[in-house]
């Protein structure tokens, strides 16, 4: 039997700020309701930019136009009852449009909300991961990389 190949999980996240408040989702997790940026996994055949636009729309019903890459993050979680998981997270910032009231949110999303950095900093126990605040802090510190910082080479057709 061939040993299982280790692969990290590639995820994307969106930072949308309006009037000093950030668009967040409250989502159902194995640990209960947690706060996160709109985020999710890269799917086969899509670019990172396509993934962050799709995930933001699916989780918040807000269209998202990425403007810059805030950072790339790697984290490893040891999970009970199974081996740990490593995540590579690409966080983008940009403009969010008005939500589509007819669009249903992903089933795991309880609601969307807008919080200030101070409000978010005051409840770390509610964050899905430590990356939630790290990404906001990096954004507030002015970290920005051009969208073409990550080069996409010949992404094949979707299956």
Residue ranges of domains in the chain, CATH in brackets: 9-149 (3.90.79.10)
Kindly report, residue by residue over 43-98, the tens digit of the pLDDT: 999 999 999 999 999 999 999 999 999 999 999 876 655 567 899 999 999 999 99
Find, among 108, 111, 82, the residue nearest to 99 by Cα: 111
The pLDDT score that the predictor gives to residue 80 is 59
Q: Which residues contact 72 (CB under 8 A, 6 or more apart)?
A: 88, 89, 90, 91, 150
Mean pLDDT of the chain: 91
Return the higher-pLDDT residue of 85 and 102. Answer: 102
Q: How far is CA 45 from the centre of its chain?
A: 18
C-alpha distances out from residue 49 to 25, 115, 136, 144, Å: 19, 24, 19, 15
């Amino acid at each position: 039997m061939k040993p299982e190949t280790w692969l990290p999980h590639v995820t994307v996240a969106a930072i949308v700020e309006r009037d000093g408040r950030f668009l967040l989702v409250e989502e159902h997790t194995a640990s209960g309701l947690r706060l996160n940026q709109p985020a999710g996994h890269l799917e086969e055949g899509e670019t990172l930019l396509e993934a962050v636009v799709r995930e933001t729309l699916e989780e918040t019903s807000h269209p998202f136009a990425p403007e810059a890459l805030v950072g790339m993050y790697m984290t490893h979680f040891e999970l009970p009852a199974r081996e740990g998981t490593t995540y590579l997270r690409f966080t983008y910032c940009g403009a969010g449009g008005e939500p589509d009231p007819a669009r249903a949110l992903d089933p795991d999303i309880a609601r969307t909300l807008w919080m200030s950095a101070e409000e978010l900093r005051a409840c770390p126990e509610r964050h899905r991961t430590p990356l939630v605040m790290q990404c906001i802090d990096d954004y507030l510190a002015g970290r920005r990389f051009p969208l073409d910082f990550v080069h996409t080479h010949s992404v094949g057709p979707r299956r």
